[in-house]
Amino acid sequence: MKHIFLAGAAAIALSFGAIGTANAALLNIQPGVAYTTPAINDVIPGVDGFIGGALQATQNVTLTYEFIGFEAGFTDEFYVDDVLAFVNNLATMGDTVASSAAAGQLLDFHFIADTLGANGGPFLKENEVTNDNNPVGYFLGVVGGGPGDTMGDAIYIALDDSGAALDDNHDDLVVIVRATAVDVPEPATLAVLGTGLIGLGLLARRRRK
């Protein structure tokens, strides 16, 4: 009887431990063209990353998008889940918007720039793998990362609106998105939990007898 109790308790402990386990890297940049923001970037100078990539969740996550700054003479907008989140010249540093994404899903955001840029805009850039590399594309970089890094829990998303100066420095609207894991039991974890509960059930049955 004692062995059954111990086995059941151990199985339950293991299962709850597994449920709480999460991978460190919650967001993955599907690389475009490697790029380092230049010293003339007024918000995130010298940050390594990619232009023309896409941003994907590696597991179920909650997301917090934070506005961290801009340098632009034009009005640029940032949308999350097709809802306007930030306008560069109206937002306040530290403003946040919440969202979520499932494992393997591309994060749902896009920019709209109110300017006639290199592509003859106005333009709309969706977060899709098919984004091409051009001056009006957005930049993705791992916060605290280095050259070639594609995985992290916090990612810079920065727009260059290809406006009047054509400086291509990606600081016209800059956001950080931070991810937090949503713990969902996997089938194997549920099986272990079930084994533990069966063990405790057998113990209770024997006690009744």
> What's the pTM value of the predicted model, to 2 decimals?
0.73
The number of folded domains in the chain is 2
- Does one domain contain both 117 and 142? yes
Question: Stretch 65-76: mean pLDDT, rounded?
Answer: 91
Same domain, 148 and 191: no
Q: Let me know whether 128 and 204 are in one domain.
A: no
User: What token pair was written down for 166?
Assistant: 């054509």
Same domain, 59 and 147: yes
The verdict on 177 and 190 lying in the same domain is no
Positive or negative, the CA dihedral 51, 54, 57, 62 is: positive
Tens digits of per-residue pLDDT, 103-154? 999 998 888 876 544 444 444 454 433 333 343 468 999 999 999 999 999 9
Range picked from 28-42, 87-101, 181-195 for highest mean pLDDT = 87-101
* Packed helices 2-19 and 187-208: angle between N→C axes, nearest 10 degrees: 150
82-102 per-position pLDDT tens digit: 899 999 999 999 999 999 999
Domain that holds residue 118: 27-181
